Amino acid sequence: LIGSSTEQPEIYPLASAIMLSAIVALTLGVSAHTVLSAPMHSDATVLNIPTKKIAPGVEMPMAGLGTWLYNTSEAHDAVLLALQIGYTHIDTALGYNNQVGIAEAIKESGRDRKSFFITSKIPGGLNFSEATAQLDLSLKQLGLEYVDLMLTHFPNAWGPFLPNGAELRREQWRAMEAFQKSGKARAIGVSHYCKRHLEDILPIATVPIAVNQVQYHVGMGMENDNATDDKAFNEAHGITYESFSPLCGPCNTMELINGSLVTGIGAKYNKSGAQVSLKWQTQQGIPVIPKTHTKAHMLENVDLFSWTLSDDDMHALTAATTPIVAGDAGPPPTSGDCIVP
Q: In the predicted model, what is the mean pLDDT of residues 320-326?
A: 95
Residues carrying an active site annotation: 96
- pLDDT at position 329 is 84
pTM for this entry: 0.89
- Which stretch of 35-39, 138-142, 224-228, 321-325 has the lowest confidence by average pLDDT? 35-39
Query: What's the one-letter identity of residue 226?
Result: N
How far is 64 from 298, CA to CA, in rounded Å?
9
Confidence category of residue 31, pLDDT binned at 50, 70, 90: low
pLDDT at 175: 98
Tell me the average pLDDT of the chain. Answer: 89
pLDDT of residue 29: 58
Q: What is the pLDDT of residues 244-300, one digit of tens each?
A: 999 998 998 999 999 999 999 999 999 999 999 999 999 999 999 999 999 999 999
Note the pLDDT tens digit of each residue in 190-215: 999 999 999 999 999 999 999 999 99
pLDDT-derived band of residue 330, with 50, 70 and 90 as boundaries? confident
Among the residue ranges 40-54, 139-153, 156-170, 300-314, the one predicted with the least confidence is 40-54
Element (H, E) at 79: helix 72-84
Answer for the pair 186, 144: CB distance below 8 angstroms, yes or no. no
Mean pLDDT within 150-172: 97
Q: Give the C-alpha separation, 337 to 154, whole Å.
A: 9
Residue type, 336: G
Tell me what percent of the chain is helix, strand and coil, each rounded to the nearest 5. Answer: 40, 15, 45
pLDDT score for 11:
28
Query: What pLDDT shows up at residue 177?
Result: 98
**What's the DSSP call for residue 11?**
P
CB of 117 within 8 A of CB of 146?
A: no
Q: What span, in angstroms and rounded, lies between the C-alpha atoms of 333 and 330?
A: 4
| pLDDT tens per residue across span 65-101 | 999 999 999 999 999 999 999 999 999 999 999 999 9
- For range 111-123, the mean pLDDT: 97
DSSP conformational letter for 42: T
Question: Residue 178: pLDDT above 80?
Answer: yes
Q: How far is 301 from 12, CA to CA, in rounded Å?
A: 11
